[in-house]
Amino acid sequence: MSTTDASHSSSDSSAFDGKVALITGAGSGIGRAMAIAFAGAGARVVACDIDPGAAGRTASGIGDAALAVTADVSSETSVAALVEAAIGAYGRVDVLCNNAGIMDTMALPADITLEQWDRVMRVNLTGAFLVTRAVLPHLLRQGGGVIVNTASEAGIRGGAAGAAYTASKHGVVGLTRNVAWAYAREGVRCNAILPGPTMTGIADGASFDPTGAARLAPVLTLGERIAQPEQMAEVALFLASDAASFVNGAIVPVDGGWSAA
């Protein structure tokens, strides 16, 4: 997809002129849609993904306004190099979208292995913390900025995913609120979106625990209520924009009304 395609966003194509958006998990799904949306709104984009080919495809699809960076958000060293690359290329970061994440196996608490638990928590929660911590000094030095975290409906429910994913996304909600509270006076806003079922491919190739999958079958078969990644990206774009300048610490369901049931 080109920058011409990106400009089809309903958002102002110049709303983010002069700003830099760093987006993790930008190689596919919601992260890729976010990268395209921010570029379409005038931002320069740092498209980060653990898969170098995926990051490169997103960046090349955007064009000169994007930089592809390969990074593992669960690694402190890799995150430091990511932020260093962003600052080295563009001199600043104005928007951080902590979007990188992995699914669990849908295993219930008695059935999940410690290895599975640790991996999901490390990517989904610790990863968001590490990138936030690395970017915050730059936001504070600039006098402010915006963080948009991708949580999940599983961040406010007990029965939308397995134990590890559910706990990790509840943690992202807590991290969002704490960052919003801690740095509001310094001009840093932090909000989270809670996607419902979205066509992202996050579960492609996954092997699900049969007991957990059977228990969660109603969630897994909500085919008529599956969103497109672009619908999530548009909300992230709004939360990062000046139109949301007094929105801080918000946890925003983007689920077609699922959470209202």
User: Mean of the per-residue pLDDT values for the chain?
Assistant: 91
202 with 101: CB under 8 angstroms? Answer: yes
What is the model's pTM?
A: 0.91
In sequence order, the 6+-apart residues with CB closer than 8 A to the CB of 34 are: 21, 23, 26, 97, 99, 232, 233, 236, 237
Mean pLDDT of the 163-184 span: 98
Tell me: the pLDDT tens digits for 23-44? 999 999 999 999 999 999 999 9
Tell me whether residue 90 is one of the annotated catalytic residues.
no
In sequence order, the 6+-apart residues with CB closer than 8 A to the CB of 77 are: none
Sorted by where each starts, the structural domains of the chain and their CATH numbers stand as: 3-260 (3.40.50.720)
Angle ∠(56,205,34) on CA atoms, nearest 5:
40
- Candidate list 165, 189, 239, 254, residue with the active-site label: 165
Tell me: the pLDDT tens digits for 70-113? 999 999 999 999 999 999 999 999 999 999 999 999 899 999 99
Per-residue three-class SS string for 72-139: CCCCHHHHHHHHHHHHHHHCCCCEEEECCCCCCCCCCCCCCCHHHHHHHHHHHHHHHHHHHHHHHHHH
User: pLDDT band at 10, cuts 50/70/90?
Assistant: very low
- Measure CA 9 to chain center: 19
Mean pLDDT of the 127-136 span: 98
27 with 58: CB under 8 angstroms? Answer: yes
